[in-house]
A and B are shown apart, each in its own frame.
Chain A
């Protein structure tokens, strides 16, 4: 194979592109700029850690099923772990979002980082809502019958039926978590590619 042929291979082109945009020292850096040493930068990774607990406890719930999480004390515990890690997930995500908003962290070609954050936020809300209707108790029955009118009034009810508990469960435990995790991965990779946004320049002249 000639070198020009090798250069044209998609594997070669993709490797060169990835290595150019995200070399290992950028993906897993040794140090960060000094302005990153503030508590406000901790909330992105707190969100990620909470997401990890959400997924892990959700997998435990899936192993044993609703009878277990409704009736046994260990099941109740894992159910609570799942709920409270979700609470921490949203709590940290909102503080992260506020922080990035006031830093205008979309500056310097970081619009896609911001937008993947926005879409992850919306996806997470949909995941939480499908979770509420997947509890398989009176609460979830009540919530789904309240939600159906709202969803139906948008027209989405034609293919997305909140009263269909099987469909809601599949969205909650398959489609939406895959989307949320994939979007989070993309979001964090974009942060690594661009590096953390520098603070605003000082614009006011200091008079002596």
Chain B
């Protein structure tokens, strides 16, 4: 099996997409995952320590 064939076996792209339906909202699983990743990245960006940043001392 070619590496493409193997990849296609693990991750079939020719089948119908998967969807999440909730009342009037319908979104593909792929899009939902991307949105969740964006929210997670946003939160991490706010709280992860930035390299080289010196912590402010209590009494300067």
Contact size range, B? 10 to 19
* Residue B45, interface by CB 8 Å: yes
A99 near B42: Cβ-Cβ < 8 Å: yes
The answer to whether A37 and B38 touch (CB under 8 A), given A42-B45, A95-B45, A99-B45, is no
Asked if A106 is an interface residue, CB under 8 A from chain B, the answer is no
CB contacts (< 8 Å) of A99 on chain B: these are 42, 45
- Which chain A residues (59-115) contact chain B, with CB distance < 8 Å? 87, 91, 94-95, 98-99
* Chain A 12-40 near chain B by CB (<8 Å), digits 1 or 0: 00000000000000000000001001111
CB contacts (< 8 Å) of A39 on chain B: these are 44-46, 48, 50
The main secondary structure of chain A at its interface with chain B is helix
Closest to A36 in B: B50
Interface residues of B in 20-60 (CB under 8 A from A): 34, 37-38, 41-42, 44-46, 48, 50, 52-53
Interface of B (DSSP majority class) = helix
- What is the distance, in angstroms, from B40's C-beta to the closest C-beta of chain A? 10
Report yes or no: B38 in contact with A38, Cβ–Cβ below 8 A. no
When the two chains form their complex, are residues A98 and B50 in contact, meaning their CB atoms are under 8 A apart? Answer: no
A43 located at the interface, meaning its Cβ lies under 8 Å from any Cβ of chain B in the complex: yes
Chain A residues within 8 Å of B34, by CB: 87, 91
CB distance from B2 to the nearest CB of A (A): 11
Q: Is the CB of B42 within 8 A of A37?
A: no
Q: A94 contacts B38, CB within 8 Å? A: yes
In the complex, what distance in Å separates the CA atom of A39 from the CA atom of B41?
Answer: 10
Let me know if A38 and B41 touch, CB within 8 A.
no
B contact residues vs A (CB 8 Å cutoff): 34, 37-38, 41-42, 44-46, 48, 50, 52-53
Given A39-B50, A43-B45, A91-B34, 12 new contacts (CB under 8 A) = A37-B50, A37-B53, A38-B53, A39-B44, A39-B48, A40-B42, A40-B45, A91-B37, A91-B41, A95-B42, A95-B45, A99-B42
Q: Which residues of A contact B (CB under 8 A)?
A: 34, 37-40, 42-43, 87, 91, 94-95, 98-99
Contacts A/B (CB < 8 Å), 20 sampled = A37-B50, A37-B52, A37-B53, A38-B46, A38-B53, A39-B45, A39-B50, A40-B42, A40-B45, A40-B46, A42-B45, A43-B45, A87-B34, A91-B38, A91-B41, A95-B38, A95-B41, A95-B42, A98-B42, A99-B45
Ordered nearest first, which 9 A-B pairs have the shortest CB separation?
Answer: A39-B45, A37-B53, A40-B45, A37-B50, A95-B42, A38-B50, A39-B48, A98-B42, A94-B38
